Structure formats: C-alpha cells, structure tokens
C-alpha cells in the first residue's frame, strides 16, 4: 500500500505537467478551436461559418462527438479527402493527440473543437452538418445519468437541429445496454433506421469506415466483446 501511494505521488505531478504542456501546444495548432462558450454566453463565432472560414470549401461536414484522441476523425479524413471532419471533446489533453497528427501531417480537411457536447447548437447552425458519429461513447449505465447519454432525447434533438435534412447519425459501441437504449430512443424520432446490428462482425456489413478501430475498440475486441453499430437517417 505504501509503495502504491508513493508511486501515485510521483506519477501525478508528471501527468499534470504533461496535461499542461499539451494544453499549451493546442493553443498554437492550426484548426484547433477552444472558444470560451457557456450556457449563458452568445453563440460561438464559428457557428454557420465552418465551410467558409475553416475549411475554405463546400465539402460535406462530418462530426465526431466525444472523439477522445480523435483517431476516428483523423483516419476518416485521410480516407475521404473530399469531406471535412471535426472531432469534438471537452478533454483538451485527449484531442491533443489527433490535433498533433493533423498538424504534423498537414491534414487540412480535419479540425478539432473543444466543447461540451450539450452546447453543440452554439457551435453549429441548423443544417450545417451532414453526419454525426458517436464512436464508443461513455454508456452512462446508471439510470440517474440517463440524460448524459449521447443518445438521450435531449441530445438527439440537438443533433437533429444541426444536421441537414436526411442527415445521418452513426453509433458504434460495445455496450448492449446503450444499443438497446439508443434503438428505443431513435424509434421515437422522425426518420428511418438504415442499418442496425448488435454484432458488426457477424452482420456481414461491408463499409470501410467501420474498419477503423479506436484504442477502445481494440481493447474491447481483445476482451471478446461484440461491437454494435447503427445508422439512423433523420427526416425534417
């Protein structure tokens, strides 16, 4: 116990310094945005201008909500240069990895945005996004935290508001509970389920976007967990 406590004391300052260093690096990186926006503040200056002011083109915009290290956004940006990708997460030390990659490799069709996902309507105008990806979000299994799930009715309303008509929502998860919950919530929405499976590997569904694996997915697969996937098309 004494050794473990000592290790924690020694490790914590190092981890703290790494976070501080990454936060500072983010400030100097291109296509990394960290606006100070709260529930009570005005909308972000980027709202409605991503195509013109950030990407300088009219290509489709795909969002990854709760992107973590941004692995999915980075890999999709590489595979699909004629689309624009924005990874979003509140943890600056996480998005640092993806942001560093797009800057070092000059991947100009990708960007990162630090925000609380529940404030997403302050950053994107109605009909500004074409697709939203949820890649292994926290399932928030406790009933008391249901409203924090990224497929809660409140979040689905926010996503729908910024998606274009017939915009797509994708979910990949190892959580059976989250798949069942999300399916139920989406059935209450106007639109249609384009694809749905509780076992992606056994489904035979062939889409190269689904071959991308995050660090979390690799861990879940190594543990023998099945990967669920759904794609829902909203209608307005």
- Say how many domains are in the chain: 1
How is 174-191 classified by DSSP, letter by letter? S-HHHHHHHHHHHTTSSE
The two tokens of residue 169 are 């929502």
Give the three-class secondary structure for 54: helix
Per-residue pLDDT of the chain (236 residues; tens, 9 = 90+): 344 443 444 444 545 667 778 778 888 899 999 999 999 999 999 999 999 999 999 999 999 999 999 999 999 999 999 999 999 999 988 999 999 999 999 999 999 999 999 999 999 999 999 999 999 999 999 988 899 999 999 999 999 999 999 999 999 999 999 999 999 999 999 999 999 999 999 999 989 999 999 999 999 999 999 999 999 999 98
Domain holding 74: CATH number?
3.40.50.150
Q: Which domain holds residue 131?
A: 2-234
How is 135-183 classified by DSSP, letter by letter? ES-----SGGGGGGSTTSHHHHHHHHHHEEEEEEEEEEES-HHHHHHHH
Give the three-class secondary structure for 62: strand
Pairing of strands 228-234, 163-173: antiparallel
Judge whether 138 counts as a catalytic residue: yes
Residues 138, 199, 201, 207: which is the catalytic one?
Answer: 138
Gyration radius of the chain's alpha carbons: 18
Burial class (CB in 10 A: 0-12, 13-18, 19+), 128: buried
Query: CA-CA distances (angstroms) from residue 34 to 92, 141, 157, 233?
Result: 9, 29, 24, 30
pTM: 0.90
Q: What is the DSSP letter of 124?
A: S
Give the three-class secondary structure for 211: helix
Nearest Cα to 203, choosing from 169, 167, 172, 166?
Answer: 172
């Amino acid at each position: 116990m004494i050794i473990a406590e000592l290790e924690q004391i020694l490790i914590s300052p190092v981890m703290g310094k790494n976070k501080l260093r990454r936060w500072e690096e983010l400030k100097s990186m291109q296509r990394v945005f960290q606006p100070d926006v709260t529930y009570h503040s005005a909308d972000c200056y980027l709202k409605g201008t991503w195509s013109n002011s950030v990407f300088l083109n009219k290509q489709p915009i795909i969002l990854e909500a709760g992107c973590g290290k941004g692995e999915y956004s980075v890999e999709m940006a590489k595979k699909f240069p004629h689309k624009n990708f924005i990874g979003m997460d509140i943890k600056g030390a996480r998005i640092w990895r993806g942001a560093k990659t797009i800057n070092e490799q000059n991947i100009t069709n990708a960007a990162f945005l630090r925000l609380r996902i529940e404030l997403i309507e302050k950053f994107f105008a109605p009909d500004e996004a074409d697709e939203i990806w949820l890649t292994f979000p926290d399932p928030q299994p406790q009933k008391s935290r249901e409203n924090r799930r990224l497929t809660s009715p409140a979040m689905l309303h926010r996503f729908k508001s910024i998606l274009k008509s017939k915009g797509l929502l994708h979910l990949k998860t190892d959580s059976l509970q989250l798949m069942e919950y999300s399916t139920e919530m989406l059935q209450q929405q106007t639109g249609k389920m384009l694809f749905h499976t509780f076992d992606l590997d056994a489904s035979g569904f062939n889409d190269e976007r689904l071959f991308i694996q995050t660090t979390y997915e690799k861990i879940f697969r190594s543990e023998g967990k099945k990967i669920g996937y759904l794609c829902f098309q909203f209608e307005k």
